[in-house]
Amino acid sequence: MNPITTEALLEALRWRYATKMFDPSRRIPEPVWTALEQSLVLTPSSYGLQPWRFMVVTDPGVKRALVPHSWNQSQPADCSHHVVFAAREHMDEAYVDRFVAQACVQRGLAPGALAGYRNMMVSDVVTGPRSAQAFEWAVRQTYIALGQFMTSAALLGVDACPMEGIQPSGYDEVLGLKGTGYATVVACAAGYRAVADRNASVKKVRFETGEVVQNV
């Protein structure tokens, strides 16, 4: 792998902003979207359990239906791809077993080779004290995916807007998530900024490095 330069990374991060106005006529090209989709799939998670589901909304009618549940912000309707990050509401042994079986197949291991790892996960997030906060734990995992998605988008020259200003229950209803075991946490509109979006030229406001980074 050839790493990008430090300058290219910082340039992309300085270029990105929470896009308020998308150009509805521009769509993310399929190869670019495929890479962004894989950035979601490749997101790291605790134990590797991936307690999430990513709902990618491109249907115009569904996107419009999400606007009233997004504080009437227009980004869901105008963007190219609206990604909804949903977290798993409960963790059970069946889910852990499915993950372990997948790991054995993909790594060429014999069934039962990861029994110790499987039991450790179950004793933590299924039957252990943390099981009572399984959804909150999964919610925190989804924010790792959001961060990875937004950084990947910036590196590919795709605009994005993270959206916590939404009504999760309304999203769940529109997307048919109720009863699936997953619940909406946050969303992110992706596409290309409109020329009229003046927010693109507004200077970023950040505390000085020394105030937020402490070297020990």
Q: What is the pLDDT of residues 106-162, one digit of tens each?
A: 999 999 999 999 999 999 999 999 999 999 999 999 999 999 999 999 999 999 999
SS3 content of the chain, % helix, strand, coil (to 5): 50, 15, 35
Query: What domains lie within the chain, and their CATH numbers?
Result: 6-91+135-212 (3.40.109.10)
User: DSSP 3-state assignment of 58?
Assistant: coil
Query: Which residue is it, tokens 């909150």?
Result: 136
CB neighbour list of residue 127: distance below 8 Å, 6 or more residues apart: none
State the Cα angle at 56 between 148 and 147, rounded to 5°.
Answer: 15
pLDDT at 51: 98
Q: Please state the φ and ψ torsions of residue 58, each to the nearest 5 degrees.
A: -125, -15
| Structure confidence at residue 192 (pLDDT) | 98
pTM of this prediction exceeds 0.75: yes
At CB < 8 A and 24+ separation, what contacts does 106-112 make? none
Other beta carbons within 10 Å of 113: 14
Residue keyed to tokens 């950035």: 39
Token pair belonging to 184: 């909406």
Neighbour tally for 161: CB within 10 Å: 25
Stretches where the chain sits below pLDDT 70 are none
Dihedral sign for Cα 81, 140, 12, 42, please: negative
CA 65 to CA 50: how far, in whole Å? 28
Residues linked to residue 191 through DSSP beta bridges, in sequence order: 159
**Residue 13 DSSP symbol:** H
**Other C-beta atoms lying within 10 Å of the C-beta of residue 127:** 13
Q: What is the number of residues in the chain?
A: 216
